Amino acid sequence: MKKVCKSCLYNEDHPLGIIINEEGICSGCLIHKEKYTLDWKERWNKLQKIVKEYKSNDKRNYDCIIPVTGANDSYFTVYIAKEKLGLNPLLVTHNRYYNTPLGIRNLSNLRIKFNCDIIIQNININSIKKLSKATLYRLGSFHWPVIAGQTVFPVRTAVNHRIPLIIWGAHQGVEQVGMFSHLHEVEMTRRYRKDHDLMGIEANQLVNSFDLVKEEDVHQLIYPSEVDIEKVGVRGIYLSNYLKWDPLQQHILMTKKYGYKTAKCQRTFDVYDHVDCWHFMGIHDHIKYLKNGYSKVLDHACREIRHGRISRNHALKLVDFYTHQDPKYNDLLFEWLGIKKSSFEYVIKKHAKYGYENKIDLNTPELSINTLIKKIGFNSSLNINYDKKDKKYILFGKGYP
Ligand SMILES: [Zn+2]
């Protein structure tokens, strides 16, 4: 029997690694408690001191790189760097191609409101499709090239443009599972990216996979060499080590102050995190459940329990309600990859450790679910219904504010 944390809902089987102590409390909950004991004024001063070294005097050079998307903690990270730390950032984004109209709009609004330059990486679509198929077969993940691109493009840009400092938002190893203390001030590493973000596989290991992937398909996803990184002195810091990180409060502030727009996502009550992607909270999340036995809504629920905005029992109810909802828009993905639904399901079943069928009674009344969501502080009534002509990926989009 797996041990489950008495405080949140994670068990010790978490893919990032969770330890449950003798009192039955998990490492993630223990590290979360630091948020209420650390001297955040002192932590902030430390951050100011770190970034000071990287400020250019004449404002003609970029001080740092910030990886962004049309969702997640992008707005807040840029807000802190630009408005609070006085830095001149270069924004970078890796085009995942599964873009929703709202994601493109948010990204456009972000660079306009904060008056920032942005570089967008558009890897050729044929290579991305080949890689998505290869990782789907091998790892049960069509999303792997997105993660690989998002985590390496900022580093490659830092090396190529000689901008040493990269500023990220939250570190999941700290925020979710308590792998490190905030005080460890853990920074970006090649190793963490490979082991956790990329599921242990580097891009070059995919060459010759199923006769699909060639050398030229992966070169944009290869991490720069140690020599190149050292030459520029590239380092990546995480704001969550220096600020009392609270995504819900941050999103509410960014919505009010800078017009970040949200929508109801599939399979969760969180309306902020992944509104830019057709699949992250859909079929990608469904696969996460089949492989790991839990979906993203559990991450969201644990986070809200820890912030004291929902009880453990109510959180369980939300998790039960959302975990087994069918993902939408799968047809877009099958068409994009050029594979049949039946082949996709065949591959996923090979990687699934957990039941493919719904196991939980879905009779929990929607009304009480909406009440719970509102109680935490999320707006449960937001919705976007894409009509037929809008139901497609935006492969390139300049957006509007
Ligand atoms: Zn816990």
Q: Which residue has the tokens 């807040």?
A: 76
Instruction: Dump the DSSP string for 169-201.
Output: S--HHHHTT-SS-GGG-----HHHIIIIISTT-
Helix axes 144-161, 125-139, angle to 10 degrees: 130
The DSSP symbol for 20 reads B
> Measured in angstroms, how far is the CA atom of residue 25 from the centroid of ligand 1?
5
> Measured in angstroms, how far is the CA atom of residue 74 from the centroid of ligand 1?
26
Q: Which residue has the tokens 């990886």?
A: 67
Q: Exposure of 67 by Cβ count < 10 A (0-12 exposed, 13-18 middle, 19+ buried)?
A: buried
> Measured in angstroms, how far is the CA atom of residue 321 from the centroid of ligand 1?
20
pLDDT value of position 368: 85
> Measured in angstroms, how far is the CA atom of residue 313 from the centroid of ligand 1?
14
> Measured in angstroms, how far is the CA atom of residue 311 from the centroid of ligand 1?
13
Greatest Cα-to-Cα distance within the chain, rounded to the nearest angstrom: 62
pLDDT value of position 198: 92
> Measured in angstroms, how far is the CA atom of residue 20 from the centroid of ligand 1?
8
> Measured in angstroms, how far is the CA atom of residue 31 from the centroid of ligand 1?
9
Pairing of strands 235-238, 165-168: parallel
What span, in angstroms and rounded, lies between the C-alpha atoms of 357 and 181?
Answer: 38
Sheet holding 165-168, edge to edge: 117-121, 89-94, 64-67, 165-168, 235-238
> Measured in angstroms, how far is the CA atom of residue 241 from the centroid of ligand 1?
19
- Pick the closest to residue 189 from 171, 206, 176, 204 (CA basis): 171
* pLDDT over 70 at 71, yes or no: yes
Report residue 400 as tokens: 């509007």
Which residues line ion ligand 1, judged by CB < 5 Å?
A: 5, 7-8, 26, 29
Helix axes 312-323, 296-306, angle to 10 degrees: 170
Report residue 235 as tokens: 């380092």
**For residues 18 and 11, is the Cβ–Cβ distance under 8 A?**
yes
pTM of structure: 0.95
Q: Is 362 helix (H, G, I), strand (E, B) or coil?
A: coil
Average pLDDT, stretch 352-363? 62
> Measured in angstroms, how far is the CA atom of residue 7 from the centroid of ligand 1?
5
pLDDT value of position 2: 84
> Measured in angstroms, how far is the CA atom of residue 9 from the centroid of ligand 1?
6
> Measured in angstroms, how far is the CA atom of residue 245 from the centroid of ligand 1?
17
Q: Which tens digits make up the pLDDT trace of 255-266?
A: 999 999 999 999
Q: How confident is the model at residue 356 (pLDDT cuts 50, 70, 90)?
A: low
**For residues 173 and 215, is the Cβ–Cβ distance under 8 A?**
no
CA distances from 395 to 3, 173, 265, 399 (A): 44, 31, 20, 12
> Measured in angstroms, how far is the CA atom of residue 316 from the centroid of ligand 1?
13
* pLDDT over 70 at 9, yes or no: yes
Report residue 395 as tokens: 């492969």
> Measured in angstroms, how far is the CA atom of residue 82 from the centroid of ligand 1?
34
> Measured in angstroms, how far is the CA atom of residue 246 from the centroid of ligand 1?
16
What span, in angstroms and rounded, lies between the C-alpha atoms of 244 and 255?
Answer: 19
Q: Which residue has the tokens 């644990």?
A: 302
Instruction: Write out the H or E segment, with its range, that includes residue 106.
Output: helix 101-113
Q: What are phi and psi of 142, to 5 degrees?
A: -80, -10
Q: Which fold has domain 38-241?
A: Rossmann fold (3.40.50)
What span, in angstroms and rounded, lies between the C-alpha atoms of 383 and 158?
Answer: 38
CA distances from 367 to 7, 304, 360 (A): 26, 20, 18
The percentage of the chain sitting over the pLDDT mark of 70, rounded to a whole number, equals 97
Q: Is 177 helix (H, G, I), strand (E, B) or coil?
A: coil
> Measured in angstroms, how far is the CA atom of residue 4 from the centroid of ligand 1?
8
> Measured in angstroms, how far is the CA atom of residue 58 from the centroid of ligand 1?
47
Q: Is 119 helix (H, G, I), strand (E, B) or coil?
A: strand
> Measured in angstroms, how far is the CA atom of residue 177 from the centroid of ligand 1?
8
> Measured in angstroms, how far is the CA atom of residue 373 from the centroid of ligand 1?
20
Report residue 174 as tokens: 């700290």
What span, in angstroms and rounded, lies between the C-alpha atoms of 58 and 170?
Answer: 30
Q: Which tens digits make up the pLDDT trace of 125-178?
A: 999 999 999 999 999 999 999 999 999 999 999 999 999 999 999 999 999 999
* pLDDT over 70 at 242, yes or no: yes
Residues of the chain with CATH 3.40.50: 38-241
Q: What residues pair up with 90 in beta bridges, in sequence order?
A: 65, 117
Report residue 56 as tokens: 């250019």
